[in-house]
Amino acid sequence: MVIRALKITLFLLLLFIYGPLYSSTIYLKFSSTFKKVYPYSENFVSNAASLWPSSQKSFDKNVEILKHGETKAEFLGDKFNAGARQGEWNIFGDFGVGRGEAPGIVVGVIDTGVVPHKGLEGRVIDGADLISDVTNANDGGGRDMDADDPGDYLPEGQYCEGGNSGNAVSSWHGTHVAGLVTMNDDTVDMYGVANGALVLPIRALGSCGGSLRDVVDGILWSIGFEVEGLNINDTLPNILNLSLGGFGKCPKVFQEVLDLAYKKGVAVVVSSGNSGVDLSDVDVFPANCDGVLVVGATDELGRVTSYSNMDDAGVVLAPGGSYSRGVVSTVNSGLRMQEADTYAEMIGTSMAAPHVSGVIAVLTHENPDMTANDIQQYIQYLYGRRSEIIQLDEIRNFLFNKDDDVGRGLRELESSDGSSGGARGGSLKTNSAAGCGTISKDSHFVLMQSFIFNFFLFILSTHILKRLEELSPLLLKKH
């Protein structure tokens, strides 16, 4: 019995401690130190805290208007009749972020999916549906290559995990976020921050919110890793926008996949959340993950909103709207299922984040020698400890001062130690080209390497166990 116990113990040690398992499943975590892929347990995924979209529903008056089926002109109302220059205070007003060109820059939107919309024509590329639970997906199936949002309401008689009732009506949250990045509708003068930017929709939030597993795999899929059952994405995003969050510490696996994105030069923009808490005292992820650009919300007068989570460690600010005046963007008029294109106000840090994603898209287009992650770090440095709204022109002037060919702002930043940029931004790069690195080994090679290593350990463990069996009579005699 002693020898048998020793054999089992040795085998388990070799297999689970020294031998990284290879896997083609979606339950992966990645060791950047050893360049190996490990599976993470299903229990960890199923027991993880659910994610919630950090947005508020449309104002009640908007819901009523949608119920009555008013046209776009009636829906926009008197305060938008002056056109976008007045109605889109969040972009063109004194407290707006500005607008620029970003043709071909890809912004991955991890959210509820995107519905077809006139304001987004030609600006949404093929994405994927990462929702694994059929009830949560609300489209009759699990994961597939269709990121269209069927509506995130929960049909009557169905219940979320734990008996929760889910959403009574559809939010069209992902479509609203996408519009703030890139919408362009001249018929009603509605425009996003980054003209010509492309949205890569990654559907991970459904009728019951989202799971850690689905969001993590959404990030992995978006940056080109293989996810079981889905085609590999070959249109990698420059920026990832996560207008979502959950309470708790940043999960290790979440941080690991974010680190993979950074290594590919991807900027990661996240909403701070709508609980009105101090992030120094309350854990909210992914706002508490390393390297993300955390965005809080301001109102139409440039004031920090009462609902926005804040702290003094680097939250930057962008328009999110107030209860008296929200942020207008693309949605669908259907209360549950898709009906017609329209525009609606929403408020929240979910709305603030895509403004910043749009700004990064514009600056990435204007500065092709930099990655989006480089631009993210400049923004963190400029605004991380300032209670001021991010503005496109100010960042441009900082990076490339027209009166100085060398670029006062660029030189100032490169000579800094990065201490002013806030805790989350990480160290500032002094050589943008050096920061453009990609993962040295793709997932197929990593998995093959792990397989070879495991095979070697299997042979080794077999040999050791055989020797134990040969020695067992001698060991028994000694006892």
Q: Residues 330, 119: contact at Cβ < 8 Å?
A: yes
Give the residue numbers marked as catalytic. Answer: 111, 173, 350
- SS3 for 120? helix
- CATH of span 50-436: 3.40.50.200
The alpha carbons of the chain give a radius of gyration, in whole angstroms, of 25
The length of the chain, given as a count of residues: 479
What's the pLDDT score for residue 435? 22
Instruction: Dump the DSSP string for 159-182.
Output: --GGG----SS---HHHHHHHHHH
| pLDDT on residue 467 | 67
- What pLDDT, on the 0 to 100 scale, is given for residue 401? 63
Residues 6+ apart with CB under 8 A from 89: 95, 96, 300, 319, 325
Taking the C-alpha atoms of residue 243 and residue 139, their distance in angstroms, rounded to an integer, is 22
Provide the terminal-to-terminal Cα distance of the chain, rounded to the nearest Å: 13
- Given a contact cutoff of 8 angstroms between Cβ atoms, the answer to whether 227 and 25 are in contact is no
Strands in 213-283 per DSSP E:
239-242, 244-247, 267-271
pLDDT of residue 313: 67
| CB-count exposure of residue 418 (10 Å: 0-12, 13-18, 19+) | middle
- β-sheet bridge partners, residue 297: 318
DSSP 352-383: HHHHHHHHHHHHHHH-TTS-HHHHHHHHHHHH
Q: 411 — phi, psi (to 5°)?
A: -65, -40
Enumerate the H helices of 384-442 as residue ranges: 392-399, 408-414
Q: 365, 392, 332: which is closest to 116 by C-alpha?
A: 332
Ranges of the chain whose pLDDT falls below 70 = 1-87, 313, 401-479
Structure tokens at 17: 């401690």
CA distance 337 to 342: 14
Question: Counting runs of H as helices and runs of E as strands, what totals does the chain give?
Answer: 15, 18
- Give the pLDDT score at 451: 44
Give me the residue spans of the domains in the chain: 2-35+442-478, 50-436
Q: Which residues pair with 246 in a beta bridge?
A: 285
Residue 471: what pLDDT? 57
Q: pTM, whole model, 2 decimals?
A: 0.73
Q: What is the pLDDT of residues 267-276, one digit of tens each?
A: 999 999 999 9
Omega within 30 of 0 (cis) for the link into 20: no
Q: How many Å apart are CA 310 and CA 242, to the nearest integer? A: 17
Residue 428 neighbours by CB under 8 Å, 6+ apart: 377, 378, 381, 413, 414, 416, 417, 418, 421
The one-letter code for the residue type at 89 is W
Report the alpha-carbon distance of residue 389 to residue 396 in Å, rounded: 14
CB 299, CB 269: distance < 8 Å: no
Report the run of H or E that residue 346 belongs to, with start and end.
Answer: strand 341-346
CA angle, 27 then 31 then 37, to 5°: 40
Give percent helix, percent strand, percent coil of the chain, each to the nearest 5. 40, 15, 45
d(CA 467, CA 469): 5
